């Protein structure tokens, strides 16, 4: 959270407060700002375009329908919005596991990126670079655990099962990975040597 990202965060907050007051144009601007990263996240987790579209739709509409559930003092719009997307994506994939396996078996692969002109807020691209850099500085086992939990939608006990490690170890790797990631992103660990 460097200084030059404060202004976009403040803009986002103001935008979401307008959305909370029922401003449909603000809602459209919110969509424009976050749709591509939101859809990318949903697609990576769901592995299926139709499912990802439903997830993104439900996430944005849930934000529109429940204006009181965003609390600016509790976090950024990005964490709130991506949180809604992630939640619904994981629910969807846990129910659609067999569908996804069938699709992959028949070679119906989702069209991943390879798209050029993706429209998103410029500061989002900056944050993406920051988190990619930070993720590289996690230990391999922490990174692996986070990826399995966050992007594969596994529970921590499923992560433990998949890696053949005790439950406590899975919990610890996730916790330590998250703490380290947070420290790196907030600039507390200058240089970030492992």
Partner 1 sequence: MTHEEFEELVPAYVLNALAPGEEMHLRAHLETCRTCAIMQQEHLETTGYLALMAPPVSPPADLKERILVEASRAPRAAPPPVRPRRRSGWARMGAAIAAAAAIVLAVVAGALGLVGYSQARELRQVLAVVGSASRTVDMSPASQDGAAGRIYIAGGDRVALVMSGLPDPGDRVYQLWLIEEGRPVPLDAFRPEAGVAAFTLRARLGPGQDMAVTLEPSAGNTAPRGPQVLST
Is 15 a binding residue for partner 1 by CB under 8 A? The answer is: no
According to CB under 8 A, which residues from 115 to 174 bind partner 1?
115, 117-120, 124, 127-128, 130-132, 134-135, 146, 149-151, 153-157, 159, 171, 174
Q: Which of 8, 37, 47, 142 binds partner 1 (CB under 8 A)?
A: 37
Whether 125 and 34 have beta carbons less than 8 Å apart is answered as: no
Q: By rule CB under 8 A, what string of x and - marks binding of each residue 86-105 to partner 1? A: xx--x---------------
> At its nearest, how many Å lie between partner 1 and the CB of residue 17?
10
Whether 33 and 15 have beta carbons less than 8 Å apart is answered as: yes
Q: Residue 32 or 97: which CB sits closer to partner 1?
A: 32
Whether 48 and 103 have beta carbons less than 8 Å apart is answered as: yes
Is 5 a binding residue for partner 1 by CB under 8 A? The answer is: no
Q: Which of 8, 40, 47, 48 binds partner 1 (CB under 8 A)?
A: 40
Q: Which of 3, 4, 65, 140 binds partner 1 (CB under 8 A)?
A: 65
The tokens describing 136, both together, are: 């590289």
Is 20 a binding residue for partner 1 by CB under 8 A? The answer is: yes
Whether 55 and 92 have beta carbons less than 8 Å apart is answered as: yes
Instruction: Return the exposure string of 54-78: e unless at least 16 CB atoms fall within 10 Å of the residue's CB, then b.
Output: bbbebbbeebeeeeeebebeeebbb
Distances from the Cα of 86 to the Cα of 14, 35, 42, 120, 126, angstroms: 23, 13, 7, 18, 21
């Amino acid at each position: 959270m460097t200084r030059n990202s404060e202004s976009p965060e403040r803009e986002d907050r103001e935008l979401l407060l307008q959305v909370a007051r029922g401003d449909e144009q603000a809602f459209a601007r919110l969509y424009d700002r976050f749709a591509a990263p939101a859809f990318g996240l949903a697609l990576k987790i769901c592995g299926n375009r139709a499912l990802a579209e439903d997830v993104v739709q439900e996430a944005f509409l849930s934000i529109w329908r429940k204006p009181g559930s965003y609390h600016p003092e509790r976090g950024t719009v990005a964490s709130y919005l991506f949180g809604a997307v992630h939640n619904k994506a994981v629910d969807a994939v846990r129910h659609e596991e067999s569908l996804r396996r069938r699709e992959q078996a028949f070679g119906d692969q989702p069209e991943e990126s390879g798209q050029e002109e993706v429209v998103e807020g410029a500061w989002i691209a900056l944050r993406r670079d920051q988190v990619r850099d930070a993720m590289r500085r996690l230990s391999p086992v922490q990174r692996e655990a986070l990826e399995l939990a966050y992007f594969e939608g596994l529970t921590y006990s499923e992560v433990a099962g998949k890696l053949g490690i005790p439950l406590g170890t899975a919990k610890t790797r996730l916790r330590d990975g998250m703490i380290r990631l947070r420290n790196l992103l907030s600039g507390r660990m200058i240089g970030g040597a492992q």
